[in-house]
Amino acid sequence: MKIVTRRGLLKSSIAMASLSVYARSAVASILTPSTAQGPFYPSATMRLADVDNDLVKVLGVVEKAGGEVIRLKGKLLSKHGKALAGHRIEIWQCDVNGKYLHPGDRHSVAYDMGFQGFGHDVTDIAGNYSFTTIKPTVYPGRTPHIHVKVLDGQRELLTTQLYIAGEKGNNSDGLFGRMSAAQARSVSMVFTKRNHILETNIDLII
Ligand SMILES: [Fe+2]
């Protein structure tokens, strides 16, 4: 029989307290705002053969993508704070020159073939996802952003966009401006340098 000591009781009450703090903060978090998909979502036939979660290295291509490499990571959570495992997260964004991997993008600049342009990851048991990509750059008429889609099998659960916190173009961006301050904060990437790479954490709450 297990003897419950005073120290043990204290330990478990601390654990319970921190659990409830976690649960409260997760519930208090706002739902990730959904945003328009935009015209440049690459359909399956437009994508490169390599569609993994490392967008700065394309399989079989020697050159690495131009731009500043970042690591984008976070958790996919339900509105009750439950980790959502096995969900597909897709991202797509323009290359360092502002060109999308999409035939509808008529910009007269060559696409950076070292940049994958689109990638996906599948959330692990704790709801974690991660991508290696580039810090988004300006697309004419838009503030820098990364497009994100969350799917459960074929079912689309969320389409949104991530922004750079403090970017001056955010203030004049039509889509950014539609969000409340709290919503905007929830999709604004703050970067910290870790292991020589800029890292940002964005939890997606659906
Ligand atoms: Fe876009």
pLDDT digits (tens, 9 = 90+) for 50-96: 999 999 999 999 999 999 999 999 999 999 999 999 999 999 999 99
Sign of CA dihedral 169, 173, 177, 178: negative
Domain boundaries, the chain: 1-30, 31-205
Instruction: Give yes or no for residue 20 having a pLDDT over 90.
Output: no
pTM listed for this prediction = 0.86
String of DSSP letters for 36-95:
---TTPPPGGGS-S--SSBTT--TT--SPPSS-EEEEEEEEE-TTS-B--S-EEEEE---
**Could you report the per-residue pLDDT of 140-196, keeping only the tens digit for each?**
899 999 999 999 999 999 999 999 999 999 999 999 999 999 999 999 999 999 989
Instruction: Give yes or no for residue 10 having a pLDDT over 60.
Output: no
Instruction: Give yes or no for residue 17 having a pLDDT over 50.
Output: no
pLDDT of residue 85: 98
pLDDT of residue 69: 97
Q: Which residue has the higher pLDDT, 156 or 19?
A: 156
Does the domain formed by 31-205 have CATH 3.90.1170.50? no
Q: What's the CA-to-centroid distance between 184 and ligand 1, angstroms?
A: 16
Q: What's the CA-to-centroid distance between 139 and ligand 1, angstroms?
A: 7
Q: What's the CA-to-centroid distance between 37 and ligand 1, angstroms?
A: 8
Instruction: Give yes or no for residue 4 having a pLDDT over 50.
Output: no
Q: What's the CA-to-centroid distance between 21 and ligand 1, angstroms?
A: 36
